[in-house]
Copies of this chain bind each other. A is one copy, B any other.
Amino acid sequence: MTRLSEFDLIEKLFAPLATSPGAFGLKDDVATVAERRGCELVVTADAVVAGVDFFPGDPAPGVAKKALRVNLSDLAAKGAEPFGYLLTLLIPREIGRAYLKEFAEGLAQDQERFGVSLLGGDMSATPGPLSIAITAFGHVPAGRLVRRSGARAGDLVFVTGTIGDSGGGLALLKEPALSSSASAHDSLIGRYRLPEPRIAFAPAVRDASASIDISDGLLADLGHVAEASGVRIVVAADRIPRSPELKALWGDGEEAIVRAAAAGDDYEIAFTAPTLIQDAQTPVTCIGRVEQGSGVELLDAAGREIATPRKGYRHFER
């Protein structure tokens, strides 16, 4: 194992990512964050851990991108546009410089794609798994942040993209023998490994009454909206958009729909609004309505409630 110096790693691999003047080229202990006139500063923190949120053998550039993107997804769902992030890396002994170089290259690619730059962070050795804790920063026009708590009876419920693909990819990674075509296989695993945060939809979603990104699972996250808003959310199971690849893997029955709606890591946006909100590029589907009451109800085509035994991923129930 090459000797890794924290200072060397920072200077050679990570300082080139710190292009904002307030990052001081990672040569100081802090960063400064510039105000943007007429905007609020929005922050969020999310960590990913090897063996929990990704597989230890996953390619380094994708691991870096996933760690960043799960944070950008939170900002997008609130209507905020990202501009920077702090990166804390806990690095086990078996991770060498070559891995970290690829990790930094993955970050560089996503920085260019999403218009963000590294502001600072920390590195520490750990006897545990590779862990990546990111704090992401964004701006939203003042007063336009979309909360979880604004859903009102009479609103409709929408989601971007398709639901459950990431869960399908995770299932395939756990049981590679599951029958599926090679292209569907790659597509679903790709959705698990490398989510596509809905950054472009951030300006449009500012017109929503409530919004959340889907990380715990569609039903669980709609549950957060229902609770925060003090409303009941009713979802039509057969309206939940699912990809052909996921249907090929799990089928098209009620059980398959429940599975997709309970799976996590979609990083799509679920939102409520009185009428359809769209932009030029993002697929949006109406899946239900907001009513008085509490909780989330999944209905079949005949209007009967479908039992949902597992309402999403909870890290600490074990």
Contacts and interface: CB of A to CB of B under 8 A. Distances in A.
B49 A126 contact: yes
A74 B121 CA distance: 12
Contact of A126 (B43, B131, B213): B131
A91 interface: yes
Contact of A43 (B51, B52, B120): B120
A33 B131 CA distance: 26
A124 B49 contact: yes
A80 interface: yes
Nearest to A93: B318
B9 A135 contact: no
A48 B48 CA distance: 16
A315 interface: yes
B128 A29 contact: no
A77 to B, nearest CB: 6
A123 interface: yes
Given A148-B27, A314-B5, A133 B122 contact: yes
A35 B6 CA distance: 33
A93 B317 CA distance: 11
Contacts of A6: 314-316
Interface in A66-116: 74-75, 77-78, 80, 86-88, 90-93
Contacts of A30: 42-44, 74-75, 78, 80, 138, 145
A122 B78 contact: no
A45 B124 contact: no
A228 B28 contact: yes
Contacts of A317: 3-5
A58 to B, nearest CB: 16
A128 B131 contact: yes
A293 B270 CA distance: 59
A179 interface: no
Interface of A: 1, 3-7, 9, 24, 27-33, 35, 40-49, 51-53, 74-75, 77-78, 80, 86-88, 90-93, 119-129, 131, 133, 135, 137-138, 145, 147-149, 212-213, 228, 314-318
22 contacts: A9-B316, A27-B149, A28-B149, A29-B148, A31-B43, A32-B41, A32-B43, A32-B145, A33-B40, A33-B41, A33-B43, A45-B121, A47-B124, A49-B90, A49-B124, A49-B125, A52-B127, A93-B318, A122-B133, A124-B315, A127-B128, A135-B135
